[in-house]
Amino acid sequence: MYRTPSVIWGAWSSWEKVLEHIEAGTTPSACSWGPGRVDVVARYHYYKNIKHAWLENGSWASGSVGSLKCRSFSPAICSWGSGNLNILFGSSSLTCQQVRYTSGTGWSTVEDLGGILASAPVACCWGLNRIDTFHRGTDTKCWGKSWDGQNWSGWYTINGDPLSGPPSACSKGDQTFEVFIRSPTATQLERDPRTMIRLFLYVLSPNYFGFFCASLFILRAETPRASANCFLFCVVTTHPRFTRKRV
């Protein structure tokens, strides 16, 4: 797996290796809990373990999330605040499971969230103590579930529109998030209402926090603007490694 970071208004650097032996056909997932910190997970090629790499104080470290195995699809990672991580992944029975990381405590035991996955889960956070996860169900609909800091909601469908692939989700931070899907008639993802549905969901919450993450990429904005970084991760399928690049 390779990584390339970018600075806004700059140029992409060469790819930099982050993890090795990532399963071909799977995708990495990345998030940031604050300035100077990046976490990324991917599915290991040999034993289906979840491999975890993190950037802190300018240096990368990596390891497995215990003996945790991602039995189906690719894992997703998100953070609702400093020192907190959530990894969502598929079980052998296609249910959605999660583990939590808290600084000073470490990784929790596995929690089964139910549902039936027909795609990898995605996750996003709009702020403190809020997580939303989405996936394509076996009925081709987009299914979602949210965590409010204490409890997970039940599973719900979004609009009933069919999906031809996994959804993607992000939050711009004002207690909203957006879900993107590709319709069955689309041949590629476009900003066109005929081929992609852009959904806004507004939920009232007294909490707000300033770091947000998305499934395939992470934008970390700082002041001044010139120091803002974008980290892009990819899996090279011929030699399944995880690398990164800087812009």
Instruction: Report pLDDT digits (tens) over 17-57.
Output: 888 888 888 899 999 999 999 999 999 887 788 999 999 98
pLDDT grade for 220, boundaries at 50, 70 and 90: very low
Q: Quick one: which H or E segment has residue 196? A: strand 196-202
- For residue 185, give the nearest of 198, 194, 197 by alpha carbon: 194
CA distances, 152 to each of 23, 122, 127, 215 (Å): 30, 15, 16, 20
Residues 4-14, mean pLDDT to the nearest whole number? 67
Give percent of the chain with pLDDT exceeding 70.
70
pLDDT at 186: 54
- What's the rounded Cα separation, in Å, for the pair 191 and 182? 10
pLDDT grade for 190, boundaries at 50, 70 and 90: very low
Encoding tokens for residue 233? 């991760």
Residues 87-112, mean pLDDT to the nearest whole number? 94
Judge whether residue 10 has pLDDT over 90.
no
Give tens-digit pLDDT for 109-167.
999 999 999 999 999 998 899 999 999 999 999 999 999 999 999 999 987 778 888 89
- What's the rounded Cα separation, in Å, for the pair 107 and 154? 24
- What's the rounded Cα separation, in Å, for the pair 110 and 95? 12
Global confidence as pTM: 0.75
Does residue 202 or residue 71 have the better pLDDT?
A: 71
The dihedrals phi and psi of 65, each to the nearest 5 degrees, come to -85, 80
**Least confident residue range of 23-27, 93-97, 134-138, 242-246:** 242-246
pLDDT grade for 66, boundaries at 50, 70 and 90: confident
- What's the rounded Cα separation, in Å, for the pair 225 and 247? 14
Beta bridge partners of 111: 98
Give percent of the chain with pLDDT exceeding 90.
44
Judge whether residue 192 has pLDDT over 70.
no
- What's the rounded Cα separation, in Å, for the pair 17 and 91? 28
Peptide bond into 193 cis (omega under 30): no
- Collapsing DSSP states into helix, strand and coil, what is residue 91? coil
